[in-house]
Amino acid sequence: MATIIAGEFATMADAESVVAALKGANFAADDVDMFMLNAPGQHDLHPLGGDEDADARASHAHSGALSGAVIGATVGFGAGAAAMAATEAGPAIAATVAAVGAYTGSLVGALNKVGEDEAPQAPETVRHAGAMVAVNAISAAAIDEAISVMRARGAKQVEQAEGRWENGKWQDFDPRATPHLVSDNPGERLPQAADRASPSH
């Protein structure tokens, strides 16, 4: 596995400028990759488009609908029982009121459940649309140099990852993966892949 430093840039022109700067800093052409990155959810990884099989926010709506239907039907039966006592058409009214209550309850329950799932959460670290420059950093010095060049050229964010680097490209890049952003403190960065693979003494 290779240690990869990657930075996000607003435009392809910005990325090309970074690539030129990295090559000027003695990075080999085969150790620098550049590609466009779509916005989250728009990577077209599924045949019908998008990145996921379903909207995670709607995954629990059916449970809210079921509980709402039960509550609505119960209320409906109660109202129908009252109507039955007051009129000869009570059974028909009871069935109608129960059905309306179940439908209304299921709708309200589903909406409430989705609303709960949309409660404010901590912001998630994601990759943004734009251009990305990735570097195969073969040493600690290369890691620091790549980070320095990218930040000096206005990277929106810089990340460090492990990956498969072949034929001058980051072959197993996954746009859906949560990026590990590089800290300003070198001690908080991920160790190099080679360092983790080597036995400790």
Report which of 110, 121, 104 is spatially closest to residue 58, judged by C-alpha positions: 110
Same domain, 111 and 136: no
Average pLDDT over residues 80-107: 57
In a domain, 154, yes or no: yes
pLDDT(174) > 60: yes
Q: Give the Cα separation of 5 and 144 in Å (integer).
A: 9
In a domain, 123, yes or no: no
Average pLDDT over residues 26-55: 73
Same domain, 64 and 110: yes
Same domain, 113 and 133: no
pLDDT(62) > 80: no
Residue 187: which domain range? 2-40+128-197
Q: Give the CATH number of the domain where residue 141 resides.
A: 3.30.70
Average pLDDT, the chain: 75
Among residues 69, 98, 117, the one where a domain terminates is 117
The pLDDT of residue 201 is 41
Among residues 77, 92, 117, the one where a domain terminates is 117
In a domain, 48, yes or no: no
**Residues facing 103 on adjacent strands:** none
Average pLDDT over residues 24-50: 79
In a domain, 10, yes or no: yes
* DSSP per-residue string spanning the chain: -EEEEEEEESSHHHHHHHHHHHHHTT--GGGEEEEEEPPTT-S--STTSSSSSS-GGGTTHHHHHHHHHHHHHHHHHHHHHHHHHH-TTHHHHHHHHHHHHHHHHHHHHHHHHHHHHTS--PPPP---SEEEEEEE--SHHHHHHHHHHHHHTT-S-EEEEEE-EETTEETT--TTSPP-BPPSSGGGSPPPHHHHHSPP-
Domains identified in the chain, total number = 2
In a domain, 49, yes or no: no
pTM confidence score: 0.58
